[in-house]
Structure 1
Amino acid sequence: MKNFNLCLFLKKKKIMVFFLSIIVITTGSCFFYKKFFLSLSEEKALEELNYAQKYLSQGAIDKALNKKKLKIPYLGFYGIVTKYPFTKAGNISKFYAGICFYKLGNYKESIKMMRNFSAKDEFLSSIKYGMIGDAFAQIRNKNEALKNYVKAANIRENEITTPLYYYKAALLTFSMKKYKNSKFFLKKIEKKYPTFLHQKNVEKYLMFIENKL
């Protein structure tokens, strides 16, 4: 009986050692991957990002995106997303690629890129959903556009993005002849954001809606 218990103990010990070894190897591999492979990829991706941003600042949208693999020695935002998807530069490139696709009139690709972009910063997150809203508005999917404008406005209240996207939501619902909804958004701007850039337009739309209703 003692021999049996001893054998059982040794067997369990071997299994535990095996699993511990697997954990150590896996942890070590992850550390190696993050420390060496990812850091090297980050450096390369960041270098590529700098060149793509330069093209974008010059207004060379096709070159900045470089989806068509133009004869330039740099990847462009699309190439960075494809080649370095797990890097920080790869993530922010999705945002820039979304802007480029929008400017080139490829709204569905813009939506796709923006949705894949992970925005930790609340201001960027607002712009992300605002851009998605703009793209949906361009392809005349007004319900999705409205949903994203409202989301963009409500991520975090501030003097810049909140009134801007409420205003876009107001104009959109106005075009849909949903005047009560439009009034709701316009009233929010009027009460909370009196210094909004388009405040005079807000007043005009409100006067029109009041007469309409």
Structure 2
Amino acid sequence: MVKSNKKYVIIYSCIITAIALVFGILYYEKFFIHSYEKKALLELTYAQQYLSQGEINKALNKKKTKINYLGFLGIISKYPFTKAGNISKFYAGICYYKLGIYKESIKMMESFSAKDDILFSIKYGFIGDAFSQMQDKEKALIYYIKAAKVKENELTTPLYYYKAALLNFYMKRYKKSKYLLEKIEMDYPSFLYKRNVEKYIMFINNKL
């Protein structure tokens, strides 16, 4: 009888511990993480405002200016596990790109975790742009094609195929350029730069 009671006490203790653990996790998520998210999002709005105004250095706050906001880098540092901390990496990548600091732009974009397909595509596209600016055309091409293939859509797919086509064109790889341009012409007839696509195809045909 005593052994049986002990067994029930142990089982009961385990259940209580498990319940306490579950409630502890829920409390942590609801109050601690939620509080962090709210603070991080508020900081994000300040940084976004500076970026929209073209105040790149203020938006990034690379020098950790002693003013009452964090900037994208501060958000990344102080709130690393929040959604705002993650999207700040994307914005920081844009800021570094605009400042011509391409290696840091690539680093930030690579660390950004994109769940949305369009953002994922733009992330790769920015990395491609940065490599292109650094004159590393081969890597730029790799990332433009990656960006185009994340998920077929009317917005980013033809845009990054177009960038890859132009890069091939300027590298005098006319056949590869023509292949991509014709793909755009056939699959994405409403592409914004449709007329340019036609002109490049005509030029390449005359060249070949």
Pair in the same fold by TM > 0.5 = yes
CA shift in 2, pair 1:21/1:177, >3 Å: farther
**Alignment counterpart, residue 41 of structure 2, candidates 40, 43, 46:** 46
* Deviation of 1:23 (Å): 5.4
Q: Identify if the C-alpha distance between structure 1 residues 18 and 67 changes in structure 2 by more than 3 Å, giving closer, same or farther.
A: farther
> After the TM superposition, which residues 37-186 of structure 1 pair with which residues of structure 2 at under 5 Å, given as runs?
37-186=32-181
Determine the structure 1 residue equivalent to 2:198.
Answer: 203
The separation in 2 between residues aligned to 1:147 and 1:17, in whole angstroms, is 58
Question: Deviation at 1:21?
Answer: 7.2
Give 3-state SS (helix, strand or coil) of 2:84's partner. Answer: helix
1:57-89 superposed Cα distances (whole Å, 9 cap, x missing partner):
111000001011123210001110111011111
Name the SS of the counterpart of 1:94 in structure 2. Answer: helix
Change (3 A) 1:136 1:23: farther
Cα RMSD for the two superposed structures: 2.4
Q: Identity of aligned pairs, percent? A: 64
Structure-2-length-normalised TM-score: 0.88
Q: Distance in 1 between matches of 2:12 and 2:146?
A: 51
Q: 1:39 to 1:201 in 2, by over 3 A?
A: same
The separation in 2 between residues aligned to 1:109 and 1:19, in whole angstroms, is 49
Structure 1: state its 5+ residue gaps. Answer: 1-5
Tell me, what secondary structure is at the counterpart of 1:158? coil
| Partner of residue 3, structure 1 | none
Distance 1:175 1:19 in 2: 69
Query: Which ranges in structure 2 are unaligned for 5 or more consecutive residues?
Result: none
Letter in 1 for 2:82: T
Shift of 1:154: 1.5
* C-alpha deviation, 1:26, in angstroms: 5.0
In 2: Cα distance, 1:28 partner to 1:135 partner = 46
* TM-score normalised by L of structure 1: 0.86
Q: How many residues align?
A: 208
